[in-house]
Amino acid sequence: MFRMTKFTGYGVVLLMHMARQPDDETHSVTELANEAYLPLPMAQKVLKRLARKGLVESQRGVNGGYRLARPADRITALDIIDALEGAVALTQCAAELDLGSKHDRCEREAYCAASHAWQEINLIVQNALRNVSLRDMVALEWEKSGLRITISGE
């Protein structure tokens, strides 16, 4: 329904790990990759992106590493997805839907009609995502895993 790439999934796992530790502590990619059971190069890639987008800060050199750029309750799900998912589609109207051929003007109009609807939906979804913070995600983790034990042994 709402699709997310693995890349973003990895990012969340890495960020959650940092969010569980004290704020000022830095974490090397090696450490983070181990924690998340991710191949090192992949973790590097994700973290570099997060750094460039300003969600984490980096410190080079010996004993360097990454840490959250701001407290976990001020990093939203929307921030994370925006950062990792790349500039995204949905409301690109004609440009995106264009099959690249004849019909030039009229085509646009047909699609633009629909695009108004999608813009609206897009806003709704964004608002929903803005209301979930990284801190919430970590909190949910405990709530739910607690529940889990009571329910089943699987």
Partner DNA sequence: TAAAATGGGACTAAAAAAGTACTGATTGTT
Partner DNA sequence: AACAATCAGTACTTTTTTAGTCCCATTTTA
Site residues (vs DNA, CB under 7 A): 3, 5-7, 27-30, 39, 41-42, 44-45, 47-48, 51-52, 58-66, 86, 99-100
DSSP string of 37-55, one letter each residue: T--HHHHHHHHHHHHHTTS
56-59 and 65-68 beta bridge pairing: antiparallel
State the residues that interact with a second copy by CB under 8 A.
1-4, 6, 9-10, 12-13, 16, 35-39, 42, 77-78, 81-82, 85, 88-90, 96-97, 99, 103, 106-107, 110-114, 116-118, 120-122, 124-126, 128-129, 131-132, 136-137, 140-141, 143-145
Nearer to a second copy, 63 or 145 (CB): 145
Residue 55 in contact with residue 68, Cβ under 8 Å?
A: yes
Residue 44 in contact with residue 28, Cβ under 8 Å?
A: no
The option from DNA, a second copy, none interacting with 65 (CB < 5 to 8 A, set by class) reads DNA
Helix axes 134-151, 6-20, angle to 10 degrees: 90
Nearer to a second copy, 62 or 87 (CB): 87
**Dist. CA 96–CA 80, nearest whole Å:** 24
